[in-house]
């Protein structure tokens, strides 16, 4: 059979006048590009939980910084045994402890030690975890292997248990000491999360482009990788602050945290356990303050996590 000749077909291109650009195809250059943090802020401010937790946290911080604005009664002076486990009186709305001290005044002044320990421990853990995790994830090699093995060792030791052992041998117990001890055993969690985020970010296109342009690796890490990997760390740090406050209260309750001379919610809870049957309000108020504080940070952490997670925003 004779072979058929191939006849090329022409291509028709419509004139530009016949296919104008529709308004939907146009790029609005007047609008600025939105960042991840701007989208997160829009998502957070629409959540009632964000405003409730923020107001509570701000109030707690103000109480910790300026306790004199909320009570004029000295917490340790004017303790009369005649008022032992007494009920509310004018000027003493929460009653008295077993030693005859004002419960409300001790509750207000105890906020400072509890919040200070939680804040200092969170800052310490976050800084150490971010630095170690970022270096290990970005440079890899022997550094990554060493950090992973050391982190596994600390992961095998529960934070509270390790703090109990270490605090029992320390000669001095202060808020700084308690925060440092908690930070020693809690940094691997932040480091592991930061390492995983950096491992995902270092293979991104913007990192490849920076390397092709000859940018130093240290500058790539600081300017591009860390800012784009810090979001999950912020979420964990927010939740961890409440966890550290609970850890301090646990240590003080067991008698190996802050000394009795330092007012904290953990010390008040520990001293009130002997009076729980006759005067439960002595235990109720510091326990309620501790619960509200921890709940506030947990609520804020949940809102921040949902705002920084695109999948969570898509599900809502």
Between 57-66, 95-104, 118-127, 285-294, the lowest mean confidence (pLDDT) is in 95-104
**Residue 3 above 70 pLDDT?**
no
Q: What are phi and psi of 89, to 5 degrees?
A: -135, 165
Reported pTM: 0.80
Dump pLDDT digits (tens) for 159-189.
Answer: 888 888 888 888 888 889 999 999 988 888 8
Residue 119's closest CA among 30, 232, 244? 244
Q: Between 291 and 316, name the one with better pLDDT.
A: 291
| Ordered domains of the chain (ranges, CATH) | 42-71+96-315 (1.10.3720.10)
CB 255 within 8 A of CB 273: no
CB 110 within 8 A of CB 258: no
DSSP string covering 121-143, please? Answer: HHHHHHHHHHHHHHHHHHH-HHH
CA atoms of 54 and 41, how far apart (whole Å): 13
pLDDT reported for residue 55: 94
Helix (H, G, I), strand (E, B) or coil at 92: strand
Question: What DSSP designation does 100 have?
Answer: S
CB 251 within 8 A of CB 164: yes
């Amino acid at each position: 059979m004779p072979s058929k000749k191939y006849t090329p077909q022409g291509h028709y291109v419509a004139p530009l006048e016949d296919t104008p650009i529709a308004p939907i195809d146009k790029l609005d250059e007047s609008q600025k590009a939105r960042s991840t943090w701007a989208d997160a802020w829009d998502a957070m401010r629409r959540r009632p939980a964000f405003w409730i937790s923020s107001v509570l946290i701000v109030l707690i911080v103000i109480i910790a910084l300026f306790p004199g604005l909320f009570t004029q009664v000295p917490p340790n002076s004017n303790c009369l045994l005649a008022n032992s486990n007494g009920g509310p009186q004018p000027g003493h709305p929460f009653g008295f402890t077993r030693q005859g001290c004002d419960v409300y005044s001790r509750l207000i002044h105890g906020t400072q030690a509890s919040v200070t320990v939680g804040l200092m421990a969170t800052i310490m853990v976050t800084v150490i975890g971010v630095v170690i995790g970022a270096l290990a994830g970005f440079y890899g090699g022997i550094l990554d292997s060493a950090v992973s093995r050391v982190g596994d060792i600390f992961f095998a030791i529960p934070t509270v248990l390790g703090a109990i052992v270490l605090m029992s041998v320390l000669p001095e117990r202060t808020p700084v000491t308690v925060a440092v001890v908690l930070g020693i055993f809690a940094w691997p969690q932040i480091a592991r999360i930061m390492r995983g985020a950096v491992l995902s970010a270092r293979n991104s296109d913007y990192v490849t482009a920076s390397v092709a342009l000859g940018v130093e690796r240290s500058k790539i890490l600081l300017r591009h990788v860390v800012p784009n990997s810090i979001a999950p760390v912020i979420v964990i740090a927010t939740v961890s602050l409440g966890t550290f406050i609970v850890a301090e209260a646990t240590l003080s309750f067991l008698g190996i945290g802050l000394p009795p001379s330092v007012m904290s919610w953990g010390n008040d809870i520990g001293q009130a356990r002997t009076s729980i049957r006759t005067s439960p309000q002595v235990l109720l108020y510091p326990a309620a303050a501790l619960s509200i504080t921890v709940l506030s940070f947990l609520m804020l952490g949940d809102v921040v996590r949902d705002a920084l997670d695109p999948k969570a925003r898509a599900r809502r």
